Amino acid sequence: MQFKLGRWHLSLAIVFVVLGFLLSTAFATQQRSGERPGPRKQNLIDFIEKQRREREKLGSQLVEARKNVAGLDSARAGRLGVLAKYSRELESLRVRAGLKGVSGRGIELLIGDAARIPLGADPDSFLIHDYDLQILINALWRGGAEAIAVNGERFVVNTGIRSAGSTILINSKPQGGPYRIKAIGASKRLVRTLKADSDAALLMGDYAQKYGLIVKLSTRNKVTIPPYKGSLRLQLLRRK
Amino acid sequence: MLPILGLLTGIILGLLFRVPVPAWMARYLGIALLAALDSALGGLRAGLEQKFNEKLFIGGFLANTTIAGLIVYIGDNLGIEIYLAAVVAFGVRLFQNLAIIRRHYFQIHHWE
Would residue B9 count as lying in a domain?
no
| pLDDT at residue A1 greater than cutoff 70 | no
Q: What is the pLDDT of residue A2?
A: 44
Mutate to test the interface with B, among A12, A14, A29, A32 (most CBs of B within 10 A): A12
Outline where DSSP puts E strands in chain B. Answer: none
Q: What is the pLDDT of residues A177-208, one digit of tens each?
A: 789 999 999 999 999 999 999 999 988 988 88
Q: Please tell me the predicted confidence (pLDDT) of residue B105.
A: 81
Q: Note the pLDDT tens digit of each residue in B3-33.
A: 788 888 888 888 888 777 777 777 788 888 8
- Give the start-to-end residue ranges of the domains of chain A: 103-225
Cα–Cα distance for residue pair A206/B41, rounded to 1 Å: 71
| Number of compact structural domains in chain B | 1
Kindly write down the DSSP assignment for every residue of A91-106, as one continuous string: HHHHHHHT-S-EEEEE
Which pLDDT tens digit goes with each residue over A76-133? 776 777 777 777 888 888 888 888 889 999 999 999 988 888 888 888 888 899 999 9
Q: What is the CA radius of gyration of chain B?
A: 16
CB contact under 8 A, B12 and A33: no
pLDDT for residue A3 is more than 50: no
The answer to whether residue A147 scores a pLDDT higher than 60 is yes
CB pair distance less than 8 Å for A26 and B52: no
pLDDT digits (tens, 9 = 90+) for B65-112: 888 888 888 888 888 888 888 889 888 998 998 998 888 888 877 765
The per-residue pLDDT for A177 is 76
Give B18→chain A minimum CA distance, Å. 6
Higher pLDDT among residues A215 and A166, named by residue: A215
Specify the CATH number of the domain A103-225.
3.30.70.1880
Does residue B1 sit within a domain?
A: no
Confidence of residue A73 (pLDDT cuts 50, 70, 90): confident
Cβ(A111)–Cβ(A181) under 8 Å? yes
User: Which is more confident, A3 or A52?
Assistant: A52
Q: What pTM does this model have?
A: 0.55
DSSP-derived secondary structure for A138-203: HHHHHTT-SEEEETTEE--TT--EEEETTEEEETTEEE-SSEEEEEES-HHHHHHHHHHSHHHHHI
B11 in a structural domain: no
Residues of B with CB under 8 A from a CB of A: 1-15, 18-19, 21, 23, 26, 29-30, 32-33, 36-37, 39-40, 43-44, 47, 52, 54, 57-58, 61
In this model, does residue A24 exceed pLDDT 80?
yes
- Rounded distance between C-alpha atoms, residue A235 and residue A218, angstroms: 40
* pLDDT tens-digit series, residues A134-146: 999 999 999 999 9
Burial A29-39 (b: 16+ CB within 10 A, else e): beeeeeeeeee
**Containing structural domain, residue B53:** 24-108
Residue B80 placed within a domain: yes
Q: Measured between alpha carbons, how far apart are the two ends of chain A, in Å?
A: 101
A112 sits in the region (left: phi over 0; alpha: psi -120 to 50; else beta) called: beta
What's phi and psi for A170, nearest 5 deg?
-125, 130
